[in-house]
Amino acid sequence: MQTNFTAEQLADPDTRESNTILRTCVHCGFCTATCPTFVLLGDELDSPRGRIYLIKDMLESGQPATEAVVRHVDRCLSCLSCMTTCPSGVHYMHLVDHARRYIEETYTRPWPERLLRRALGATLPYPARFRLALRAARLARPLRGWLPGRGTTFGRMRAMLELAPETLPPADPAPAVRRYLAEGERRGRVALLTGCAQTVLAPSINAATIRLLTRMGVEVVVSEGQGCCGALNHHMGQHDPAMALARANIAAWTREIEGEGLDAIVVNASGCGTTVKDYGHMFREEPEPWAARAALVAARARDVSEVLLQFGYAPSRAAPELTVAYHAACSLQHGQKITSAPKQLLARAGFTVKEPAEGHLCCGSAGTYNLMQPEIAGALKARKLENIGRTGAAVIASGNIGCLTQLGSGPLPAIHTVELLDWMAGGPAPAGLSDGTV
């Protein structure tokens, strides 16, 4: 693709990076076939190719973003299916991230939307605030039927109330800094990203991860100062809050690396993993030592499935006759290019693993997407659940808390892959499978 940025514009590192990405695109259109919003809406501007043209024109003009550009970029899930499909290697993730930051800095959204986005950015990354918000939503949930039937703001309010769980697990009373010793001879030492929303919605995922790894001879540390990876703010274009959260993680893990050392930084929410693995890019223009530290951390980041394969996961009990539909989270299969490891581990544990049709299409969760774009998210969810239902599986397995929340309100229990693996290695049955059945 031909671009026409000025020398002054190209002095900006983000614009220079976007220029390189834009010039890689050859207009082939392969991306349209695997883009969830194009599959649903059939609008070229709601395809990666269409958005690339819009972003190019917006950045070249140097003018504030228009409502039309914002509308179509907002509809992008950042599922990155287009990156898997693209034969030219267009790094769409970095391009759309730049576009979102540009929009955030130049476009004035309607005040209800500004308020909602700020509230989400100031609440979701912080477990205590998020827990309070969910409690308030649970109290307000019976009122959702009284909300007006039309209007974007009311639709988003209904989506938030419907997604709020009826009950919450107890808050984790453990101290902020924790060290879990390996059982037997220590074979490795890792740091665990405990995350933000996941610690409130499903703390059992971190507990299962720790049990599994320590049984395998891996010491697990939860470092002082680690927390939200920054992805939620980053994908809303909220650059400074995202960088502050990432910086805290980098500082915490750098201390561990320079202290007793780390073999890996384990992430069991694939959306977070994609972001942590991109810290090197996010901090590439930051002054030292931050750029080097970020690159060091990114190089050690691993999805939990990668680490379990590395240390030789093996079950210790016979599996029940249970068919599992494996839902590949977009951030894992497209963002991190991890496709076979979770299925391999589930099969090793003794489960029958089925893959639903259209496995490359997003379930509609995508961070805050199911709150901000509830109609599209709902259509994608229904399509995903229909395909999963055709597999005949009794349970859904996935490696991302957003997907589990999105799909868990359907007819089948949705359980993190690591909880199923821990169960077969001596841990408790996951919630919903308490007696070993569905």
pLDDT in tens, 222-258: 999 999 999 999 999 999 999 999 999 999 999 999 9
What does the pLDDT read at residue 172?
74
What does the pLDDT read at residue 145?
66
- How far is 364 from 81, CA to CA, in rounded Å? 13
Distance of CA 123 to the CA centre of its chain: 17
Residue segments in the chain with a per-residue pLDDT below the cut of 50: none
pTM exceeds cut of 0.85: yes
Q: To which H or E segment does residue 395 belong? A: strand 395-398
- How far is 378 from 131, CA to CA, in rounded Å? 24
Residue 178 has a CB neighbour count (10 Å cut-off) of: 15
In contact, 229 and 247? CB cutoff 8 Å: no
Residues 6+ apart with CB under 8 A from 112: 152, 153
Among candidates 256, 309, 306, which has minimal Cα distance to 277?
Answer: 306
3-class state of residue 325 by DSSP: strand
Half-sphere exposure at residue 364, Cβ-oriented, CA atoms within 13 angstroms = 23
- How far is 199 from 208, CA to CA, in rounded Å? 12
Residues 6+ apart with CB under 8 A from 44: 32, 38, 50
Bond from prior residue into 48 cis (ω within 30 degrees of 0) = no
Q: Which two tokens stand for residue 74?
A: 């907002």
pLDDT in tens, 40-56: 999 999 999 999 999 99
Q: What angle do CA 99, 100, 104 make, to 5 degrees?
A: 120
Cα torsion 189, 195, 201, 202 to 10°: value is -10
Q: Which residues pair with 267 in a beta bridge?
A: 193, 303
What does the pLDDT read at residue 159?
79
Burial 369-390 (b: 16+ CB within 10 A, else e): bbbbbbebbbbbbebbbebbee
pLDDT in tens, 194-208: 999 999 999 999 999
